[in-house]
Amino acid sequence: MALKQTLSLLQKDLEQEIVKQCEHLEEIMSQSPDSDLLKLMDLMAQGKCNEALKMCNELIAKDIENPKKHIIKGITLFSLDRNKEAIDAYNIAIGLDPSDAEAYHNKANSLVKLGKTEEALSECDRAIALDPTSAIAYYNKAVILADLGRREEAIEYYNKVLEIEPQDLMALNNMGVNLFFLGRYEESIDLFNRVIALYPNDSAIPYITKASALFQLGNCEEAIEVCDQALRIDPQDPLIYITKGDALAMLDSKYGAMDAYSKAIEFDFQNAEAYLKRADALASVGRYQEAITDYNRAIKFEPENSSAYINRGVVLYHLGEYHQAIKDFDKAIKLDPHDVEPYINKGKSLYELGKYREAIGEAEKAIKLDPDNAPDYRYNISLVLMRIGKYQDALRECEKGLKVDPEHKLCYYNKSTALYELGKYKEALEACDKLFQLDNSFPDIYKLKTLILIGLEKPN
């Protein structure tokens, strides 16, 4: 879903951290009001960070022993993404006043930007030890833990933020996001309801994420309603239209989904996700050439997205352009060699080209990557083997599949078929009867059973 972009915007965006830093500047100002510092904060709020940095240096030159001014310089450098210099400024502040918690938790932000997450966590811990009431120290640690995938721990620290500042919007949003990632969708929805109650018109983001959680729970109608609420706040946000489109697609409203994705493109003509999803919707109604055009656009704007190549390859497969489809599947494999889907689809294309051994090779790769679904791939291999008349080998593949899943209907069907072709009619009938017990409406089961019974009537 569009949630991937929303989550990035909520949790990792530099702008969000700058907002937090500006809030800190306000705290510093309130502790020691100073007209120069107020002017400095105003420059930061306007995004004039270079001017702010110049002013910082002038203020430090006048009062070099003031740790707060070095902290402010660090925040300014952080805003300019000059993190090594920011750390130097924070270290000077720490040298001047080792008991100032603000220097440590601000230093943590710059360490994160440099990829030094463990050091950043240590700095957060120092800040918390010095000032256990510092909400931003807990907040920063929570963000770092979430980025490391330690979401349960992150939630603990967001809770600590909310104990100190119960209405902290960013903490509420990020905690909801982490609950979502953990699959705790109901809790995520409850938390975003709390955000919406506190800040009903501040941002569309909590509505989008709530809609995504509803989507995951299968509540697509309600997800669409929440998206419509979000559109009243921000009618030009492409993420809202993409989220709404996903819910409409799940309800099989394919043309409604297309319209939603088209609106997303209208407001962001470089949105690869919108093109990709509109292409999927077009392909689902057989509009393959239009779908290919949209897949091409998605790839243009996001050339490293393996899904675009896979899905375009599937459309090319349906158009009978097997060689071109294989090129797309190969590109997808290069981008993500652990995704089983391009191997499966490449195997199908190779099968259609009569390259049976190569098709089997792709299915075997799929088995290694995804052993839980090995019976499906064993079935595919058995199809290829029966196509070239190797019924004993096909039977062996079906048996392997049934060892993993004793109720795999397709494997039973091919097992019965292979046994029939081998003239083992009694065993074929047993396999067919087992399939009948599992699903008496299975396609062609009556035809297969009739052929087997005729075979049994033949004289030895």
* DSSP assignment letter at 372: G
pLDDT at 22 (0 to 100)? 52
How far is residue 177's CA from residue 10's CA, in Å, rounded to a whole number? 8
Name the burial class of residue 324, with classes exposed (0-12), middle (13-18) and buried (19+) by CB atoms within 10 angstroms of its CB.
Answer: middle
Q: Is 315 exposed, middle or buried (0-12, 13-18, 19+ CB in 10 A)?
A: buried
- Secondary structure of residue 184 in the 3-state scheme: coil
Dihedral of alpha carbons 15, 20, 21, 26, sign: positive
DSSP assignment of 1-41 equals -THHHHHHHHHT-HHHHHHHHHHHHHHHHHHS--HHHHHHH
Percent helix, percent strand, percent coil in the chain, to nearest 5: 80, 0, 20
| Contact predicate 136/165, CB 8 Å | no
**CB distance 74 to 110 below 8 Å:** yes
Residues in the chain: 460
Domain 393-459 belongs to what architecture? Alpha Horseshoe (1.25)
As given in the structure block, the two tokens for residue 89 are 């400024």
**How many Cβ atoms from other residues are within 10 Å of residue 163's Cβ?**
11
Task: Check: pTM over 0.95? Answer yes or no.
Answer: no
Domains 8-23+38-182 and 393-459 share a fold: yes
Residue 27 is predicted with a pLDDT of 56
3-state secondary structure at position 396: helix
Which alpha helices (DSSP H) does 405-457 contain, by range?
409-421, 425-438, 445-457
Q: Would you kindly state where each structural domain of the chain is located, as residue ranges?
A: 8-23+38-182, 393-459
Instruction: Give phi and psi for 42, each to the nearest 5.
Output: -65, -40
pLDDT of residue 39: 80
pLDDT by residue, tens only, the chain of 460 residues: 444 444 444 444 444 554 555 555 555 555 555 677 778 777 877 888 888 889 989 889 988 998 988 998 999 899 899 999 999 999 999 999 999 999 999 999 999 999 999 999 999 999 999 999 999 999 999 999 998 999 999 999 999 999 999 999 999 999 999 999 999 999 999 999 999 999 999 989 899 999 999 999 999 999 999 999 999 999 999 999 999 999 999 999 999 999 999 999 999 999 999 999 999 999 999 999 999 999 999 999 999 999 999 999 999 999 999 999 999 999 999 999 999 999 999 999 999 999 999 999 999 999 999 999 999 999 999 999 999 999 999 999 999 999 999 999 999 999 999 999 999 999 999 999 999 999 999 999 999 999 999 999 887 6
Q: How many angstroms separate the CA atoms of 44 and 18, rounded?
A: 9
CB atoms within 10 A of CB 280: 24
What's the pLDDT at 24?
55
Q: Tell me the one-letter amino acid at 324.
A: Q
CATH architecture of 8-23+38-182: Alpha Horseshoe (1.25)
Place of tokens 């997205």: 305
Select from 287, 247, 294, 293 the least CA-distant residue to 273.
Answer: 294
- Cα separation, 460 vs 457, in Å, equals 9
The tokens of 325 are what?
A: 């489809």
Instruction: Please give the full DSSP string across 64-101, using - where no structure is assigned.
Output: TT-HHHHHHHHHHHHHTT-HHHHHHHHHHHHHH-TT-H
For tokens 């093109």, name the residue.
275
Distance between CA atoms of 291 and 278, rounded to whole angstroms?
A: 7
CA 251, 256, 257: angle at the middle one, nearest 5?
Answer: 75
Distance of CA 179 to the CA centre of its chain: 14
Q: What is the pLDDT of residue 33?
A: 54
CA distance 173 to 153: 16
Closest CA to 109 of 217, 233, 13: 13
Measured at the CA of 352, the angle between CA 348 and CA 357, to 5 degrees, comes to 70
Residue 14: what pLDDT?
Answer: 40
